[in-house]
Amino acid sequence: MLADRIGIVSFKDEYTPEFYRRWRTHGTNYNIVSFKSIDMFYTEFHANRKELEKRFLEAAENAIKEDRAEIIFANCVTFFPNLPSRQSIEEKLGVPVIDSLALSVKFAEMLASLKYAQSRKTYPKIVDFHME
């Protein structure tokens, strides 16, 4: 575990219930202390990088100060292609920041390198029926 208290930064408030459901489904919601929104849709990120950085930092700082978050999870895979480096954001915030895009790619790489695959009991092979 990287921290006990997770602050989530996402792009729009109206998506929070769905994101929270996903965390709960995976059994990882118990240590989420806040969901903060930058109120900016991800299609706006690239054209508004400075504003994105400002809003991301404000949301993360609020999670840290108001909710005592010890780590920030960037809950959108398009944050870090458009934000400065994760390390520079961590330096400004003083807590670790999880880049969800990098995490997803590295996790997939790990599973592939270890030759792990889904259980065939959970995901059976599909029989290919040819309709004639």
pLDDT digit string, tens, across residues 12-27:
888 888 888 888 898 8
Largest CA distance in the chain: 65
Average pLDDT of the residues in 90-105: 93
Residue 129 has pLDDT above 80, yes or no: no
Residue-wise pLDDT for 41-89, tens only, equals: 888 888 888 998 999 999 999 999 999 999 999 988 788 788 888 999 9
Pick the CATH number of 6-113 from 3.40.190.10, 2.70.70.10, 3.40.50.12500, 3.90.1570.10: 3.40.50.12500
Question: Which run of H or E residues covers position 9?
Answer: strand 6-10
Question: What's the token pair of residue 32?
Answer: 């989420």
What's the whole-model pTM score? 0.82
